[in-house]
Structures are given as C-alpha cells and as structure tokens.
Structure 1
Amino acid sequence: MSSGALVAAVDIGGTKIAGGLVSRDGELLHEVQVPTPAKGSAAAVLSAVHSVLDLLASQASWHRVDRVGVGSAGPVDVTAGTVSPVNIPNWRGFPLVDQLTAHPAVSGRLPVVLGGDAVAMTAAEHWIGAARGFSTALCLVVSTGVGAGLVLDGKVHAGPTGNAGHLGHITVDLDGDPCPCGSRGCLERLASGTAIAAWALGHGWRPEADDTSAAAVAASARAGDPVALAAFDRAAKALAAGIAATATLVELEAAVLGGGVLRAGDLLLSPLRHHLQTYAALPFTRRIRILPAQLGTHAGLVGAAALALR
C-alpha cells in the first residue's frame, strides 16, 4: 500500500451504504458496508452513515485521509449540501454535508464533497474505467433505480445542483405509471431491477424459489421463460429510447452501463443494441458504442473519491 494521502469515500444507496479508503490513483484499499434502513427515520439512516464513517476511522491509515467524498442516491443539491433520495423517503432536503462535517472523525479537519451516486459512477468510469478517453459519454447505473451522468467535452458534467444527466426520471411512457419522483412513465419505472421483477410478476412469471428479484427473472430468462425474456426486452427498449434521446441532444460517443441489473449481461445488452437501431435513427447517433462498466460494485466509492479530488 502506498503512503500517500487517501480519500474517505461513502456511497449511499437505497439498499446499502458503503465506505472505502481510496488512493490518489483510484485504488480502493479498504471497503465496509451496512444495510440502508431506507424506510426508517431520517436519524436511523444518518446513524447508518455514521457507522460507516466509524468503521473507516478505525483503520490505521485513517490519519492519511485528507478529504471525504460522498455519492448519494438523488436528487442531490451540491450547492446546499442536501439530499432527497427517491428511495429514502424520510430524507427530503436532508443536510447531509453539515451532518457529516460534524462527525467526530471529520469535524474541523476534512472537507466533505457531495455528488449524486450516478455522477460519481460516471466520474469513476471516466477516470479509470470504460468511459476513459471519450469526450462525450453517458454512464448509467441500472439497479434498484436508474441513475445516469454525463461526460461532456472530456469532463464530468454535473450541472449547477449536481443532477445533470438524471436519465432515470425522464418520461419514456406518456401514459405510464406514477413515479415516486412526482412524474409518470419514468425510465426507472420500466428499466430498473425493481420494475423488471414487478412487470414479470404482473404478467404471470413465477420464480422456482421464493425469490422475486431481477436476478431471479434473469435466471428464468436464461432458461427460456418467455415472460422473463419479455421483461428484459421491455427494459432494454426503454433504455434504448433514453440513450437515443440523449445521443440526439449531445452527440454521444459511448453509453456505459453498470449496476446490479447488468449482471444479466447480454439478456439486457443484446436487445438494447437491437432497439437502438430503431431509436437512434439519425446518422450522427448511429455510431454510439454500448459498453459494460468496468468497475462493478466499486464504481460508487471510486467515483465519490474522484468527485472529491476534482
């Protein structure tokens, strides 16, 4: 392990809260995680985040940490230091930066830098992953929800409040289901792991075991189950529409996809590339490359560190 300065990184999602120590060259040197009490009180969620910081601060190398980077499910407001994750209902305008700055291991010594989790993933993949070298790219996290971030002119483009590229909450179905964000027919409502499993169950799919996750739908799809295959095709079509719309706006060179649903591999990527042939119809959108993310579950922590370093 190098002896240089480290970044303490925190990745806050609807399922888990992870923490890590990241070197200046993007190497994740230590990782911890706890479950997210997503339906709990605001204080309960904050306590889980504090427990992650406590675990990191107990490491012998903590004295080398010179900043804290945080990627949170969004939306976020990096100017105000607040978060309002759609999947954590009791955090609305929650002053996360102030709360973390007051943590005993941080207070008075370490600056705290906040970003959206998908923007963090984008920063990671552009730094040392699949989006490296592209001047214009879209990076997506397809998991419990759908998040995304943009690289424009060779730099991560987070926007004034840190929410630019929030593709999961654009409408792709004008008459679609209401979304917790307040809109309806959002991409997330069709393409997330939660949506894939819910649609499959609603159309007659039944798992062999008592597992109704997107991973179980993927297992059935690999075995040839037509409803499971249709669920992934529906998600791929929605993603293709969103990616094509973004490519039309900013002339994307690449779209990089990560997140737990991407463990399904070609069950999602093959129909996605197929449907792009329909939606990415203009000549300057047809050259977009669809790439799997390279950093896997480490992207959130490496990306939070990248945002802090930036």
Structure 2
Amino acid sequence: MHPHGATGPLVAALDIGGTKIAGALVDAEGQLLTKALRPTPATEDGESVLRAVTDVLDELRAVPQWPATIAVGIGSAGPVDALHGTVSPVNVPGWREFPLVSRVSQAVGGLPVALTGDGVAMTAAEHWQGAARGYDNALCMVVSTGVGGGLVLGGALVPGPTGNAGHIGHISVDLDGDLCPCGSRGCVERIASGPNIARSALGGGWQPPAGVAATAAAVADAARAGDRVALAAFDRAAQALAAGIAATATLVEIQVAVVGGGVANAGPVLFDPLREHLSRYATLSFAAGVEVVPAKLGTDAGLVGAAAAAAESLRLEGFTSAP
C-alpha cells in the first residue's frame, strides 16, 4: 500500500469470489494504492451481489486518486464469459450469465472494463510481479477450494476466447475416477483441492484434533507430524497436480509451473511429492525440465492480476503488464 499520491495512470481492479469481493486502485508498478472489501452475499439474488460490487467501487471512487483511473479490470470466480461480458460463478448461484461488464461500466461512468477468470488473473499477476516473472512460458495454478489456473505462452497471457484458458483443475487425471461436480470424472480438482484433500484423509481414518476443523491445513499439520494417512492424502493430491502439469507441459511446452492458493501453504508436504511425481510423468525431453515453484503474491494476486490482465487485453497506454 502506498501512502503517497499516485503518478501516472491507474486501473481499478476487482477480485470476485464466493466469500469476498475485493477492490483496489493499482498503479503501473503493480502497487495497490487503496483497498476496499465486502463479503459476498453468495446466497442472495444477483442484484444483491451486484450491490456489494458497487459498494466496493463507490469506496474506490471516493479516493482522491480516482480521476487517474483509466480502466477497470475484473477477475472473477468462473466460469466467466469475456466474449459476452457475463459471469456464472459456481459458488454464487444468484449470478447466472449475469451481465457484470455492462453493469460495472455503468457504475464507473463508461470506463473500459475487462473481464477474466480468476485463474487467468492470478497468472497475469505472477507473470508481471511474481514467481513467473522473466519466463515466457508458464502455467500458474491456484489450489484452494477449487483448482484453477492460467497460461503464459510466447511471453503473452493466454486468456482464451472466453477468459477461461488454462483451467487445469478440470483436466481428467483418473479415467474412471470420482464424479466431479463439473460433470466429468477424475478431475485434478476432485483429488487435489483443499476440501478433497480433507475428504481423502477423513476417508482413510484421519481425525483432526479436538476443536480443529477438518481442513487441508489441519491435514498438512498432521502430515508434518508424520501421520501416514495425512501424508498419503497429500501424496495423492500431488500426484494429480503432477499429472495435470505434465499434460500441460507436453501440450504447450512450459518452463515453469507456479503453484499458489491456500493448499500451497502446506509447503514441502505438497511440493516435495509434487516434484517427485512430476519427474515420473513429465518424461519427454522438452517437458522434463519444468520447474515447480510457489507463488509469490499471496492474497493480493487477484487484484494485481485483474489490473495486469486488463492492461494486456485493453492494450492500455502507459500501463504495461510486461515485466
């Protein structure tokens, strides 16, 4: 957060998820000048959810630096449809093909608005300011309640026609595996997301300590203490992630895979078996050298990335998402 006044153009960024809606003004160095936050009224109707978004925007518009804002970038839980400017986040039932871009544009007096999926936004952030900086070909992943991702190829962000490209969570890595809520079977997300790591551990007989919720973080603590069932749950998640990364490396040739999101906070409990499994799956010469590194930007990645993705898709003058 910069206390001083901004110089140069700003992008207003929105990071929209099932639990919170965050907003910030982002400068050309990727710094957040001001930040606003509202809980997502996820169980309410679409207009109520929109009201939380406009509340965040109103807070940003009240800041003295607002006049320097030249565009709005939105990173949203998906699926999104950047072609039609609509969002249908799985975890916000009130929004189905909701015309978010036009409504946000109205709320900010007609500034250009760019929409992308949250995985693509995180990727834009990590490429601009984080762990993928300096790489022309990268896969960036968010492993949390779900598993999302995005791609940088040939030095450019690849959002795809609708803003959902790189959605590694729904590559099938277990042909006859469990049915995924998306409708497919054996998806990476169905094995490697936080809730599914916890589900796997509980199924194997692990129990969290008294008074502790059964989360992936609790499973990680048990794994660090040597609990065999907890270690096996993380090993299986790591195997699924490795298979997805290897498939991506084989398909498009990446140099680095950046892994962020809450589950990545497990550290070596996740990354050690992930690198080991990847060496077994990514075996062709051009896929074998992929580095696996933790993300750098943490909770601000969505906001920084929404601005970076907007700068790239709108080709904003004086505001560049190139490192």
Q: TM-score range by the shorter chain?
A: over 0.9
Superposed CA deviations along residues 108-155 of structure 1, whole A, max 9, x for unmatched, are: 3x2111011111111111112111111111000111111110111110
Match of 1:291 in 2: 293
Q: Say if 2:207 is the partner of 1:206.
A: yes
SS in 2 for 1:107: coil
- 1:239 aligned to 238, 241, 244, which one? 241
CA 1:63/1:142 → structure 2, altered by over 3 Å: closer, same or farther? same
Query: What is the identity, as a one-letter code, of the residue corresponding to 1:216?
Result: A
Match of 1:192 in 2: 193
Q: Say if 2:104 is the partner of 1:100.
A: yes
Query: What is the identity, as a one-letter code, of the residue corresponding to 1:255?
Result: A
TM-score (norm 1): 0.94
CA 1:42/1:201 → structure 2, altered by over 3 Å: closer, same or farther? farther
SS in 1 for 2:286: helix
Match of 1:112 in 2: 113
Tell me how far apart the structure 2 counterparts of residues 83 and 229 of structure 1 sit (CA, whole Å).
37
Tell me how far apart the structure 2 counterparts of residues 52 and 144 of structure 1 sit (CA, whole Å).
24
- 2:37 aligned to 15, 26, 33, which one? 33
For residue 184 of structure 1, report the CA deviation from its aligned partner: 2.2
Instruction: Tell me if the contact between 1:86 and 1:180 (Cα under 8 Å) persists in the aligned partners.
Output: no
- 1:74 aligned to 66, 78, 84, which one? 78
Instruction: Tell me if the contact between 2:260 and 2:294 (Cα under 8 Å) persists in the aligned partners.
Output: yes
Tell me how far apart the structure 2 counterparts of residues 269 and 20 of structure 1 sit (CA, whole Å).
31
Tell me how far apart the structure 2 counterparts of residues 41 and 134 of structure 1 sit (CA, whole Å).
42
SS in 2 for 1:283: coil
Tell me how far apart the structure 2 counterparts of residues 244 and 167 of structure 1 sit (CA, whole Å).
11
CA 1:187/1:39 → structure 2, altered by over 3 Å: closer, same or farther? farther
> RMSD value over aligned CA atoms?
1.5
For residue 177 of structure 1, report the CA deviation from its aligned partner: 2.3
Query: What is the identity, as a one-letter code, of the residue corresponding to 1:20?
Result: A
Match of 1:170 in 2: 171
SS in 2 for 1:18: strand
For residue 224 of structure 1, report the CA deviation from its aligned partner: 1.8
CA 1:305/1:251 → structure 2, altered by over 3 Å: closer, same or farther? same
Tell me how far apart the structure 2 counterparts of residues 239 and 280 of structure 1 sit (CA, whole Å).
12
For residue 28 of structure 1, report the CA deviation from its aligned partner: 1.5
CA 1:37/1:203 → structure 2, altered by over 3 Å: closer, same or farther? farther
Structure 2 unmatched ranges of 5 or more: 313-323
For residue 198 of structure 1, report the CA deviation from its aligned partner: 1.8
- Quick check: 267-276 or 20-29, which moved more? 20-29
Aligned pairs for 1:249-288 within 5 A: 249-288=251-290
Tell me how far apart the structure 2 counterparts of residues 234 and 39 of structure 1 sit (CA, whole Å).
33
Query: What is the identity, as a one-letter code, of the residue corresponding to 1:17?
Result: I
- Quick check: 58-67 or 278-287, which moved more? 58-67
For residue 299 of structure 1, report the CA deviation from its aligned partner: 0.8
Match of 2:21 in 1: 17
Query: What is the identity, as a one-letter code, of the residue corresponding to 2:26?
Result: V
Superposed CA deviations along residues 192-241 of structure 1, whole A, max 9, x for unmatched, are: 11211222222222111231221122122222222221111111100000
Query: What is the identity, as a one-letter code, of the residue corresponding to 1:100?
Result: V
CA 1:89/1:203 → structure 2, altered by over 3 Å: closer, same or farther? farther
Aligned pairs for 1:105-144 within 5 A: 106-108=108-110, 110-144=111-145
Superposed CA deviations along residues 10-45 of structure 1, whole A, max 9, x for unmatched, are: 011223221111101111222222222333332332
Report how many aligned residue pairs link the two structures.
Answer: 307
Instruction: Tell me if the contact between 1:14 and 1:144 (Cα under 8 Å) persists in the aligned partners.
Output: no
Instruction: Tell me if the contact between 1:86 and 1:181 (Cα under 8 Å) persists in the aligned partners.
Output: no
SS in 2 for 1:119: helix
SS in 2 for 1:139: strand
TM-score (norm 2): 0.91
Superposed CA deviations along residues 151-193 of structure 1, whole A, max 9, x for unmatched, are: 1111011111111111111111222222222222211111111
Tell me how far apart the structure 1 counterparts of residues 57 and 40 of structure 2 sit (CA, whole Å).
14
For residue 280 of structure 1, report the CA deviation from its aligned partner: 0.7
